Structure 1
């Protein structure tokens, strides 16, 4: 019989919090069980294994990131949308490092994950409406934006910019200026 109060949703939320505290790759069923003061076996009626637990955190993170992006993008277009989305993405990564790491993992094509990933991709594509990019340029631009956001945020959160004299926020703003310029002047396909 399942311990009262333990549900898959509650475990997922606690696992996300634990991932932020300990790091996503340190998230285990045993660590989560300790959080609830139960033996790991008590969790297995709600989650199959650590892979499912991590997948649930990934889906949660993608959904949270998409919600944050949607709120940031509301009523914005062009550079305003780009900056709002980028700031939401960066803010989420800094506030929730474990969840952010979870959102980056590649999972099997599970329905919930595929839906959350699709929504996140749609939020990224919505930035491009103000730039009037046709396909396949949109796909290229989505990949560029994702690579830039992830690369910058990963370097920043791992201390990669700690020894440079320029303020990180200034570099972030200048990078977004450069991305806006690239998107406005996208080269035609040959």
Structure 2
């Protein structure tokens, strides 16, 4: 019988806090049970296990990240939208390291399709990039460039990987500006095909 007061949503919210405090890789059912003052078995009435919990956390955190990015880019286009997008992404990754780590796990695409907040991720990202005149397959390539750049920078920054005296924020701003220049002068797939 489910313990009174415990719900899947409460468990995921607590998991998000614990992941930020201890790290996503250290999240466990036992740690959550201790948080709630219950036995591990009490959690299994609400989540199927650690894999299910991590997937739920990934969906939860992905929705939070998308909401912050969408709010930041609203009403902006071009470089301003890109800078707002990048800033919201970086702020979330640095403020919520455990949740952010959860957004990087591979999850079933059918689960993503059934999650409105995550479907908005594609809408927001592709909408911003269409302002640069990009269409498929260039849109997918540009999304991969942005994701790998933002993720790599945030991962290095959070791990203290930048040791030079140069201000980390100044380098971030320069990277965003370089991405803007790249997107503005993107080598379009259709143009390349016509040149062959």
| TM-score, normalization by structure 2 | 0.92
**Correspondence 1:1-190 to 2 at 5 A:** 1-112=1-112, 115=115, 116-161=117-162, 163-189=163-189, 190=192
Is this contact kept in 2: 1:62–1:103, CA < 8 A? yes
Q: Which runs of 5+ in 1 are unaligned?
A: none
Matched residues in 1 for 2:39 and 2:110: separation?
28
Is this contact kept in 1: 2:2–2:42, CA < 8 A? yes
What is the CA-CA distance between 1:121 and the residue it aligns to? 2.7
What RMSD over aligned residues (CA atoms) do the two structures have, in Å?
Answer: 1.3
Q: Which runs of 5+ in 2 are unaligned?
A: none
| TM-score, normalization by structure 1 | 0.95
- The total of aligned residue pairs comes to 189
What is the CA-CA distance between 1:129 and the residue it aligns to? 2.4
SS at match of 1:131: coil
SS at match of 1:182: helix
Give every structure 1 segment of 4 or more consecutive aligned residues whose post-TM-superposition deviation is greater than 4 Å: none
Is this contact kept in 2: 1:78–1:129, CA < 8 A? no
